[in-house]
Amino acid sequence: MKSKSTITDKLSRPIKDLRISVTDRCNFRCTYCMPEQIYGHRYKFIDKSSLLTFQEIITITEILVEMGVQKIRLTGGEPLLRNKIEDLISPLANIAGIKELTLTTNGYLLPSKAQKLKNSGINRITVSLDSLDNEIFKKINGRNVNVSKVLTGIEAAEKAGFSPIKINCVVERGINENSILEMAEYFREKGHILRFIEFMDVGTLNQWNLDKVVPAKEIVEIINSKIPIEPTNPTYFGEVASRYKYKDGSGEIGIIASVTQPFCGNCTRLRLSPEGNLYTCLFSNTGTDVKKLLRSNNNKKELKSLIKKTWLSREDKYSIDRSSKPNKSTKKVEMYHIGG
C-alpha cells in the first residue's frame, strides 16, 4: 500500500471514514427506514448481478485508504444478509492503514454469525434496538419480531468476544420516548454503550417532521433525572455522538443529535452504496457512479481521479442548512440504501 495522501473537501474536512452498504435488503421493516406499506413483498430490490462484487469493494476501499480513510463500517440494509460476508471482511481487515473495521446489524442473525465475524476481523459490532418493550419493538420493526431475538444476538456477540457492544436507539416522539430510561438502565448494567439517535429526515418515505423529534436535550434530562450523567470529551475528531458518562463511573451513553445539534463541520464520512455509487452525505440526492468505470476498463488511475474529485468537490452541510429551513422537502437517497 502506498503512503496516504490526505485530501480535504471544500469545507476543509478530511476523509477518514468509509461506510459500505453491502446490500439494500433487510429482514426488518422499521418504520423510520423501510416502512412495510412501501417495502412490501412485491418491492423490487437491486438485482444481485448489479451489486458490487467483493473484489470491487476491496479495490475502492484500497484507493480510499490511500486518500486518508482509517475506519470502515459495513452496513445495509442488513449486512448479514449478504451471502458469505465473511469473505469480504477478511481482505478488508488486512488492508494496511485501516484502524477499525466495524459492522452495524439489527442483531437477528448474530447467533449464527457473531463468531464468524470475529474470526474474520470485525473489531466492533453495533446493534440497532429501539425498545425493550416487546409490543413497541414489534410495532417499530414491522416484522413482528420479538425483542428477545435481538437480545439473543447481542449475547452471541458477547460470547464471540465483542466488548463493549454499541446499541443504537432511534427515538421518535409518540413511539418510544418512554423506553429511554429503561434502555439506559438495562445496557448500563450489561456494560454496553447505548447511543440515542434523534429521528432524522433520511430519505423521503418515513413521514418525518420536526414534531416527531425528541431533542438531545430532552433525552439527557430524562436519563439525568434518574441516573446522573455529565458530558465527556469526544474520543476522536469527527465523532458523531456527543458522549456522556455516568457520574458513578458505571459507563457512558452517546447521543447523535443531527437535527438539533448539527455536526456537519466535523463530518469525515463517505458512503458507498450496494450498486456502486459514492454519496458524500447521508442526506444526498445523487451519488457518483464508480461501478461503471470499474467494469468498463482496468484503468485504476481514472478511478482514483474520479473518487478524489468526488471528495474534493464536496460541500454538503445538510443538517446545518436544515436548521434554517426545517420543513423544506427535498428528494434524498433512502437510509436502507446507504446505511445510517
Q: What is the per-residue pLDDT for 38?
A: 78
Q: Where are the beta strands (DSSP E) in the chain?
A: 17-21, 71-75, 100-105, 124-128, 166-171, 193-198, 229-231, 242-246, 252-256, 269-272, 277-279, 288-289
Q: What is the per-residue pLDDT for 333?
A: 63
Q: What is the per-residue pLDDT for 340?
A: 58
Burial class (CB in 10 A: 0-12, 13-18, 19+), 207: exposed
To the nearest 10°, report the CA torsion of 194, 199, 202, 208. 160
Q: What is the per-residue pLDDT for 260?
A: 84
Q: Is the whole-model pTM more than 0.85? A: yes
User: Hey, what's the cell of 75?
Assistant: 452496513
Which residue type is seen at 148? S
Q: What is the per-residue pLDDT for 329?
A: 52
Write out the chain's pLDDT in tens, 340 residues.
Answer: 444 567 999 999 999 999 999 999 999 998 888 888 877 777 888 998 999 999 999 999 999 999 999 999 999 999 999 999 999 999 999 999 999 999 999 999 999 999 999 999 999 999 999 999 999 999 999 999 999 999 999 999 999 999 999 999 999 999 999 999 999 999 999 999 999 999 887 655 666 687 899 999 999 999 999 999 999 988 877 778 999 999 999 999 999 988 888 778 889 999 999 999 999 988 788 899 999 999 887 678 899 999 999 999 999 887 777 666 655 556 656 656 666 5
Q: What is the per-residue pLDDT for 325?
A: 61
What is the C-alpha to C-alpha distance for residues 144 and 41, in angstroms, rounded to an integer? 15
Q: What is the per-residue pLDDT for 331?
A: 62
What is the C-alpha to C-alpha distance for residues 281 and 319, in angstroms, rounded to an integer? 10
Please, what is the angle between helix 147-159 and helix 134-141, to 10°? 90
Find out whether 316 and 287 touch, Cβ atoms under 8 Å: no
Q: What is the per-residue pLDDT for 3?
A: 46
- The SS3 call for residue 167 is strand
CA of 166: how far to CAs of 67, 82, 123, 193, in Å?
28, 22, 12, 5
Q: Which structural domains are found in the chain, ordered by start?
A: 17-338 (3.20.20.70)
Q: What is the per-residue pLDDT for 41?
A: 75
